[in-house]
Amino acid sequence: MTHSPTIDDDLEDLIACPTCDALYRVAAPGNGERAVCARCHHVLIAPVEGAILRVVALALTVVILLVTALFMPFLSIEASGLHNATSIFEAALAFSRAHMVVLSLAVISLIIFIPILRALLLIYVLTPLMLRRRPWPGARTAFRLSEHLRPWSMAEIFVLGVGVALVKITAMAHVELGMAFWLFALLVVVTVFQDGYLCRWSIWHALEESPDPEAPMSIAQPDEVHAHG
C-alpha cells in the first residue's frame, strides 16, 4: 500500500512565527545563520555549532548556582544600631511565620525550585542528543514542560527587583551584599547566554527524528525568511 501525500504531511514542512503567526516553508540552513520572520523580525531558528553542549553546560551551571546560593548570605542591613542578615531560604520562611505559607512557597518556587527543575529538564532532554543517541523516554514531554515553566522561572527577575529596591534602601541604611547576591547576578548572565544558544525549533526537530551518529545534526530554516550571518 502506497502512501499518498496528505495535508498533515504539508503541515510538517511549515513553521509559524510565534509573534505574528506568519507561515514559512522549512529548508536546510547553515550553522551560524538565523531565520528571521520577514514580517516582525522575530528570530525563528538560530542554529549554532556546538549549541547543545553549551546549553547543557549552562543548565548545569544554573543548578549549581541556585543550590549554592540557597543557604548562603544574600544581604545584610544595618540601621540605627540594628543589624540583620538573611539568606534566600530564610527570607522565604519569614512569610510562613506570618501565616502566609502559600506566599512563602510561591516565592521559593519561582526563584529557586522552578529554575532548577527547568534546568534539569533541559539536561535530561539534551544529554542524549549531545551524545548522538536516541532521546530518552518522555523527552518530548520533558521539553514541553520546560517551555511551560519558562515564564515562571523568575530568578533573574528577582535579582533585578532587588537591585531596584537597594537603590532606595541604601539612602536609609548600610547594606552589604552577600555571596548569594553575586551568584544570582551571575545567574542572570548565564540565563541570557543559555536562551541565546537554545534554538527551540531545532530541539523539536531533533526529538522527532533520530540523529545520525555519523553526521552532524541538521537544523532547518524556512524559505522566504531573511538569513543573517
pLDDT in tens, 62-113: 999 999 998 888 988 887 777 778 888 887 777 766 677 888 888 889 999 9
| Pairwise CA distance, residues 99 & 208, whole Å | 47
pLDDT band at 28 (very low <50, low <70, confident <90, very high): low
The x, y and z cell numbers of residue 175, run together, are: 547594606
Predicted local distance difference test score (pLDDT) of residue 215: 39
| Pairwise CA distance, residues 138 & 80, whole Å | 56
Provide the mean pLDDT of the chain: 80
CB 225 within 8 A of CB 24: yes
Predicted local distance difference test score (pLDDT) of residue 21: 83
- Neighbour-count burial for 20-51, b at 16+ CB within 10 Å, e otherwise: eebebebeebeeebbbbbeeeeeebbbbbeeb
Q: What is the mean pLDDT of residues 5-10?
A: 48
Higher pLDDT, 223 or 123: 123
Residue 16 in this model has a pLDDT that exceeds 80: yes
| Cβ neighbours, 10 Å, residue 114 | 18
- Taking CA atoms, 164 is separated from 92, 158, 167, in Å, by 19, 10, 5
Predicted local distance difference test score (pLDDT) of residue 97: 67
Q: Which percentage of the chain shows pLDDT scores above 70?
A: 83
pLDDT tens profile 168-227: 887 788 888 899 999 999 998 999 899 889 988 889 888 887 544 333 443 333 344 444
Residue written as grid cell 548545569: 60
Predicted local distance difference test score (pLDDT) of residue 212: 42
Q: What is the mean pLDDT of residues 127-155?
A: 92
